[in-house]
C-alpha cells in the first residue's frame, strides 16, 4: 500500500517531539483492511535513555505538586478524552480492529479511570494509629517512587495506558510509556491529549518501538524503579527475570483461560448472551474472554446447539461499520496461531462444531478475519482447553455436577476471570468462594469490569498486584511510616511503655 500522505509520528521526550536517534521507522497498518495508519520512530536504547533522563529530571518537581492539583490535571485530561471520544473510537476501529461499540467502551474506560484517579488526588489515604507511648503521633503516608516504565499490549490501546498512567501520575511519579507496536497511533493520541491537558514537560514521555529494543532497555534501566506490564505470560516471565538484578518493582497483568460455568438450573438464554459476548467480543482477544464453557451434561446438547446457531449468525467485517459483530484479529501471526490451534483441537479429538477457518471472501481478504469457532466434546486437559489462544475459539466441556464444574474451571495455570450461571443462591456463594480467579461473575459472562474495583488475576495471570480501584495505588507508591515524638524525652518503643497494664 502506498504511504504518500501518511502521517509521520515522533517520540515525545522532555516535552519535545523527536525522531528516533537512529532515524529508523516502522509502519502501523490496519488489521481490518491493510491501510497504512502511520509511520513511527523505531527507537532503541539511546531513545529510552533520553526519555528516562527527562522523566527523572521532571520527577523532582512533579512529586512536589500537591496531589489534588495533579488530580485536577487528570480531570482536564478526562474531559479532553470525552471531547475526542468519537475520533479515538474511529481510529481504534482502524488501527486495532475493534468494532465501534467496543472501541467506544475502551475509550470510556479511560475516561472513567482518569476521573476516578483524579479524585484520588484528594484521597491517597494513609493511616493514623495511636502510639503505645505518651506524646507521640504516628501515621503512614503514600510516597511516589520515581520513573515508571509503562509497557502495554495492543488489545486495549486506550484503556490499559489509562489504568497505569493515571494512578502513576496522581501519585507523583513520572512516566516513560512504550505502547505496543501494533497500536502506536492510539498511544500517541493518548500522550498528545495529556500534553494538551497541561502535563509539565518530561512528566510523560512516549518511546515507540519493539519489546526487544525499547521494552527491554526500559526494564533494565537503572533509573526506572517500577515496571508495569500488561502482556503475555511469556513476556511477563522474561521481564521479571530481566528486572531481577535491579530488584525492581514489577507489576504484571498477564494471560487468561477463562471459563463460564452453566449449571442445570441456569437461565439458558441469559447464559447464551453472556457466552456469545464473552467469547466473540473483541474477536476473543480480551484477557478476560471466555474460551471455555463448562456445562452441566443435562443442558449440554441444548446449549451447544444454540451457541453454534448464534455464532454462525455473527457478521464479520470492519469495525467502523456499525452492523459488524466481529472484527479482525490483530495481525497475520495471530491469525496463524489461531488456525494452528484449530488443527491442534481436531488432532486431539475435539469435534469442530462450527468455524475453524480463515474468512477471506470479498473485502475480508484484505484483513485478518477468523470465523467464530466452537469445539464440542472437549476434555479439560486438551491443549485447546488449557492454553491461551487469544482468538474467537470456544471449547465446550460437559460435566456431571457442580464439584466437577469448579474443578475444571480451576484446572488451568491462569486465574483471571470466572463466571457461573445458576439460580441457586447457595451455589452462587460457593462458586464465589471456590473459583480460583481474581474476578468472579454471577449470572454474567467473564467480561465487564468497572474501574473502581481491583482488576487482575491469581496464579500465572500475574504476580499478586492489582490494577484499578485503590489497589492500583499500591503499585505506584511506597508506604512510609512517620513517628513524631513531642514528649521532649527519649522514649524507647517496646521498652519504655510502662503505662500499659500488662495482663
Ligand atoms: P506481548 O506480551 O506480546 O506484548 C506486551 C507488551 O510487552 C508489548 O508492548 C511488547 O512490545 C512488550 N514486550 C515484549 N517483549 C518484551 C521484553 N522482553 N521486555 C519488555 N517489553 C516487552 O502481549 P500482546 O500480544 O501485546 O498482548 C496480548 C497478551 O496480553 C495476552 O496474553 C493477554 O491475555 C494479555 N493481556 C492481559 C491483560 C490483563 O489485564 N491481565 C489485559 C490485556 C491483555
Instruction: Tell me, yes or no, if 312 is annotated catalytic.
Output: no
Q: Which atom of ligand 1 is nearest to the CA of 239?
A: 19
| Residue-level pLDDT at 5 | 75
| Residue-level pLDDT at 185 | 98
Task: Please state the rounded mean pLDDT for residues 253-267.
Answer: 98
Instruction: Tell me, yes or no, if 253 is annotated catalytic.
Output: yes
Q: Which atom of ligand 1 is nearest to the CA of 216?
A: 19
At which residue does the C-alpha cell 469490569 appear?
449
| Residue-level pLDDT at 2 | 45
φ, ψ at 132 (rounded to 5°): -80, -5
Measured in Å, residue 179 CA sits from the centre of ligand 1 at: 10
**Chain centre distance of CA 335:** 21
Which 3 state secondary structure label does DSSP give 334?
helix
499 — pLDDT class (breaks 50, 70, 90): confident
The response to whether residue 390 sits with its C-beta less than 6 Å from ligand 1 reads yes
Measured in Å, residue 180 CA sits from the centre of ligand 1 at: 8
The response to whether residue 416 sits with its C-beta less than 6 Å from ligand 1 reads yes
Residue 1 has pLDDT above 80, yes or no: no
Give the residue among 42, 44, 248, 45 at the shortest CA–CA distance from 145. Answer: 248
Beta strands 417-421; 358-359: pairing state: unpaired
∠ CA 81-83-88, rounded to 5° = 60
Residue 3 has pLDDT above 70, yes or no: no
Considering the chain, what is the average pLDDT of its residues? 97
The response to whether residue 388 sits with its C-beta less than 6 Å from ligand 1 reads yes
The response to whether residue 230 sits with its C-beta less than 6 Å from ligand 1 reads yes
**Chain centre distance of CA 386:** 21
Side-chain-facing half-sphere of 210: CA atoms under 13 Å: 7
Measured in Å, residue 231 CA sits from the centre of ligand 1 at: 2
Lowest mean per-residue pLDDT among 4-13, 62-71, 163-172, 315-324: 4-13
Taken in order 292, 236, 180, 143, is the CA torsion positive or negative?
positive
Look at 140 and 503; give whichever has higher pLDDT.
Answer: 140
The Cα–Cα gap between 162 and 78 comes to 10
The response to whether residue 258 sits with its C-beta less than 6 Å from ligand 1 reads no
Measured in Å, residue 343 CA sits from the centre of ligand 1 at: 25
Task: Please state the rounded mean pLDDT for residues 221-245.
Answer: 97
Task: Please state the rounded mean pLDDT for residues 269-298.
Answer: 98
DSSP assignment of 86-130 equals HHHHHHHHHHT---HHHHHHHHHHHHHHHHHHHHHTT----EEE-
Q: Which atom of ligand 1 is nearest to the CA of 455?
A: 40
pLDDT, tens digit (0-9, with 9 covering 90-100), for 362-379: 999 999 999 999 999 999
The response to whether residue 107 sits with its C-beta less than 6 Å from ligand 1 reads no
Which 3 state secondary structure label does DSSP give 200?
coil
The response to whether residue 256 sits with its C-beta less than 6 Å from ligand 1 reads yes
Q: How many CB atoms lie within 10 A of CB 343?
A: 11
By alpha-carbon position, which residue is closest to atom 12 of ligand 1? 211
Residue 498 has pLDDT above 90, yes or no: no
Q: Is the pTM of this model over 0.85?
A: yes
Amino acid at each position: 500500500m502506498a504511504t504518500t500522505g501518511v502521517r509521520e509520528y515522533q517520540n515525545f521526550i522532555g516535552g519535545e517531539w523527536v525522531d528516533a536517534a537512529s532515524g529508523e521507522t516502522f509502519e502501523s497498518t490496519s488489521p481490518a483492511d491493510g491501510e497504512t495508519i502511520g509511520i513511527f520512530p523505531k527507537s532503541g536504547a539511546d531513545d529510552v535513555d533520553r526519555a528516562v533522563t527527562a522523566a527523572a529530571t521532571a520527577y523532582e518537581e512533579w512529586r512536589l505538586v500537591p496531589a489534588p492539583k495533579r488530580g485536577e490535571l487528570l480531570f482536564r485530561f478526562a474531559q479532553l478524552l470525552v471531547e475526542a471520544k468519537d475520533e479515538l473510537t474511529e481510529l481504534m476501529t482502524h488501527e486495532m480492529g475493534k468494532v465501534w461499540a467496543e472501541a467506544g467502551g475502551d475509550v470510556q474506560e479511560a475516561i472513567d479511570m482518569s476521573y476516578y484517579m483524579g479524585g484520588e488526588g484528594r484521597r491517597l489515604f494513609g493511616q493514623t494509629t495511636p502510639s503505645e507511648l505518651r506524646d507521640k503521633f504516628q501515621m503512614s503516608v503514600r510516597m511516589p517512587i520515581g520513573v515508571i516504565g509503562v509497557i502495554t499490549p495492543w488489545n486495549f490501546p486506550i484503556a490499559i495506558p489509562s489504568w497505569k498512567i493515571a494512578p502513576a501520575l496522581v501519585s507523583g511519579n513520572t512516566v516513560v510509556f512504550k505502547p505496543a507496536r501494533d497500536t502506536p497511533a492510539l498511544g500517541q493520541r493518548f500522550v498528545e491529549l495529556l500534553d494538551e491537558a497541561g502535563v509539565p514537560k518530561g512528566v510523560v514521555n512516549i518511546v515507540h518501538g519493539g519489546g526487544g529494543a525499547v521494552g527491554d532497555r526500559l526494564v533494565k534501566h537503572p533509573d526506572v524503579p517500577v515496571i508495569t506490564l500488561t502482556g503475555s505470560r511469556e513476556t511477563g516471565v522474561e521481564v521479571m527475570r530481566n528486572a531481577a538484578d535491579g530488584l525492581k518493582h514489577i507489576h504484571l497483568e498477564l494471560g487468561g483461560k477463562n471459563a463460564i460455568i452453566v449449571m442445570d438450573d441456569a437461565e439458558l438464554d441469559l447464559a447464551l448472551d453472556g457466552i456469545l459476548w464473552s467469547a466473540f467480543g473483541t474477536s476473543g482477544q480480551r484477557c478476560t474472554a471466555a474460551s471455555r464453557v463448562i456445562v452441566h451434561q443435562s443442558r449440554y446438547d441444548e446449549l451447544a446447539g444454540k451457541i453454534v446457531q448464534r455464532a454462525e449468525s455473527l457478521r464479520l467485517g470492519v469495525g467502523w461499520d456499525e452492523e459488524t459483530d466481529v472484527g479482525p484479529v490483530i495481525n497475520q501471526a495471530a491469525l496463524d496461531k489461531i488456525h494452528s490451534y484449530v488443527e491442534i483441537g481436531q488432532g486431539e479429538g475435539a469435534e469442530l462444531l462450527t468455524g475453524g477457518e480463515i474468512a477471506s471472501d470479498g473485502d475480508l481478504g484484505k484483513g485478518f478475519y477468523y470465523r467464530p469457532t466452537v469445539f464440542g466434546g472437549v476434555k479439560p486437559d486438551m491443549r485447546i482447553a488449557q492454553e491461551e489462544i487469544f482468538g474467537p475459539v470456544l471449547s465446550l466441556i460437559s460435566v456431571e455436577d457442580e464439584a466437577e464444574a469448579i474443578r475444571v474451571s480451576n484446572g488451568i495455570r491462569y486465574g483471571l476471570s470466572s463466571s457461573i450461571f445458576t439460580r441457586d443462591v447457595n451455589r452462587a456463594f460457593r462458586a464465589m468462594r471456590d473459583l480460583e480467579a481474581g474476578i468472579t461473575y454471577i449470572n454474567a459472562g467473564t467480561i465487564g469490569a468497572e474501574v473502581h474495583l481491583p482488576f487482575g488475576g491469581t496464579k500465572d495471570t500475574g504476580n499478586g498486584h492489582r490494577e484499578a480501584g485503590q489497589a492500583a495505588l499500591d503499585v505506584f507508591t511506597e508506604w512510609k511510616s512517620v513517628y513524631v515524638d513531642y514528649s521532649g524525652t527519649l522514649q524507647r518503643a517496646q521498652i519504655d511503655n510502662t503505662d500499659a497494664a500488662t495482663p
